[in-house]
Structure 1
Amino acid sequence: MDSPSNPNIKAVFLDLSGVLYIGTKALPGAVETVHHLKQQGFILRFVTNTASQPSEMILQQLIQLGFDVNETELFTAPRAAKQYLLHHQLRPYCLIHTLLKPEFEDIDQTDPNCVLLGDAQDDLTYQNLNRAFNLLEQGYPLIGIGNNKYYKDPEGFKLDAGAFIHALEWASDTRAIITGKPDKTFFDEVVASTGVPANQCLMIGDDVRGDVEGAINAGLQAALVRTGKFKPHDETLLPDTAWIFDSIQKLSLS
């Protein structure tokens, strides 16, 4: 379906990379669209699985690009992962991006009793993955920061953490706990912050699985944009109730 025009939508959830920006450049019309949505009175949430930057860095990047956003509107999968570790008093073996490590420094990581896996990039070596595998073989849980297959940056498509999470799941006969999209618990947390029902929230993303299907399975409305990681084949996977439009610039909720 084309761009949504549903008067019941009260809150809009926006994926970041591929929807609002790619690399260090805002996509055409993205800043203006966010500003217009706020002027119209929509509740906005900026929702991302990005696991290569701490929350503060993501927030500052959005502000530098010109987006009107504050800390309470930003929901990240790494932040959700940290809350899960603290709540369950877990000591993680962290396979995460170098820039993200300071965000977890205040959590005890001695004698690990779980594996935390995110976008560790060059640290996803055989040696490190095998250590993670052996921890899982002892019955410890695998916690994934998001579960995306791939992402797109200015250099092109790149494998995301989901590919490595699935490899460890398969090898160890376990099921990962996912703290970002498409997990329903993550969407539920974002919805709860708005004070409106899930069916009055619209998720907009460039990932037909993680953004669109994940949101619909959590009771939200959803739309796919033809930017970022979008591929033409994604249109054949789009749920019947979802919308699709060329870019965030084409969004119209009036």
Structure 2
Amino acid sequence: MPSSKKLLNPKIALPVKSASESKATIKTSERTEFLTNANAKSLSSKIEFFLISLNGTVYVEDSNRNKTLTPRAAAAYLTLQNNGKKYKFVTNTSRESDDKTQQLLASIGFGISKNDIYSSLTSTRDYLIKNELRPHLLVSDEVLAEQFSDLHTMLHRPNSVVVGLAPEKFNYANINKCFRLLARDKERKLIAINNGRHCLTPDGLSLGTGPFIKILESASNREAVAVGKPSHLFYWNVLESLGVTDPLTAVMIGDDVREDVIGALAVGMHVCLVKTGKYKAGDELTAIAFSRGEDLVEVPVEERCLVVDTFADAVSLLVKKVVEVGANVLL
């Protein structure tokens, strides 16, 4: 394999289901053909469900968090909507509620409904409800009020600790409270809304949720349950929310080779990498290992996914029809 290829994790084998994920109602199919640039047209008719990453794919964001839609993103959305495709716009943010995300999108001309959004916060709610967990939540006040007000049980013997991105809450007292809850009962779950090591803020690169999760994992001697991208749980949850029974009827479109492409491949979905947002030249050459019998076979990502310039280009390839407004063809 050429030395320019980046080996992210030589132990990844696809498709994979953990013991907890095997309880999902979604059935897996043995993959016979991967979506690539060579077969996009022939496979497009089999794809009915679309997962689309928001930040970096639908819009790009600068260091001051100013957002701009990627080329023809609004037209691509209309194409999906008008051709009867089912879709969710996914985001891994845990610092903004789904309501806030919807408002931000509307402000830049991308008017989708709240029900069209599936975030790591949504995935967390689904996981908590499905497993009948009573969480102690270390999240921002906005997220607590708008996403978890009915589940917040600080005063009622929580049996889980949930941590999201809440810089204003990341102090010794709050982290120590989470530790003490975990230390008192080894059965209490530690749940990471996401595990990002760092994030971009107006004043520069800042610590994400991941380092604080690591502190709690180390101190409490347990492994956190990850429910955001790129975890299997996130993808199973969002597929289940769409009613998907076969991952081969769904495609994940995203700009992040790890969270979007490898994460979705790991649950048996088709994937499409776009060259916007987090994409860096050569990401499509990232090496990934697939299981073949008892062996692991290493191949570049581009042999297992479609690679295009933009979200709109992906929709143009995968949706046969076009949408017209007056005399103007949008896609």
TM-score (norm 2): 0.67
CA distance 1:17–1:87, change in 2 (3 Å): same
Partner of 2:323: none
Out of 136, 149, 156, the residue aligned to residue 105 of structure 1 is 149
CA distance 1:221–1:152, change in 2 (3 Å): farther
SS at match of 2:258: helix
Partner of 1:118: 164
Aligned length: 254
Query: Is the Cα contact below 8 Å between 2:50 and 2:251 reproduced in 1?
Result: yes
CA distance 1:190–1:90, change in 2 (3 Å): closer
RMSD of the TM alignment (CA)?
A: 2.7
Q: What amino acid sits opposite 1:115 in the alignment?
A: V
Once the 2 structures are TM-superposed, how far is the Cα of residue 59 of structure 1 from its aligned partner? 2.2
Separation in 1, partners of 2:312, 2:202: 20
Once the 2 structures are TM-superposed, how far is the Cα of residue 225 of structure 1 from its aligned partner? 2.3
Once the 2 structures are TM-superposed, how far is the Cα of residue 37 of structure 1 from its aligned partner? 2.8
Once the 2 structures are TM-superposed, how far is the Cα of residue 153 of structure 1 from its aligned partner? 6.2
Percentage of pairs with the same residue: 32
CA distance 1:84–1:16, change in 2 (3 Å): same
Structure 1, residues 117-143: CA drift from partner, whole Å, max 9, x if none? 011123222443233233333322111
Structure number, greater radius of gyration: 2
Q: What amino acid sits opposite 1:160 in the alignment?
A: G
Map 1:224-239 → 2, pairs under 5 A = 224-232=273-281, 234-237=283-286, 239=301
Once the 2 structures are TM-superposed, how far is the Cα of residue 232 of structure 1 from its aligned partner? 4.0
Partner of 1:148: 196
Determine whether 1:220 maps to 2:269: yes
Partner of 2:115: 72
CA distance 1:124–1:233, change in 2 (3 Å): farther
TM-score (norm 1): 0.84
Separation in 2, partners of 1:166, 1:207: 23
Greater RCO, 1 or 2 (C-alpha within 8 Å, sep 6+): 2
Between Structure 1 and Structure 2, which shows a larger proportion of helix residues? 1
Out of 169, 172, 177, the residue aligned to residue 217 of structure 2 is 169
Unaligned runs of 5+ in 2: 1-35, 288-300, 321-331
Out of 134, 137, 146, the residue aligned to residue 94 of structure 1 is 137
Q: Is the deviation greater in 49-58 or in 229-238? A: 229-238
Separation in 2, partners of 1:225, 1:153: 24
Out of 310, 323, 326, the residue aligned to residue 247 of structure 1 is 310
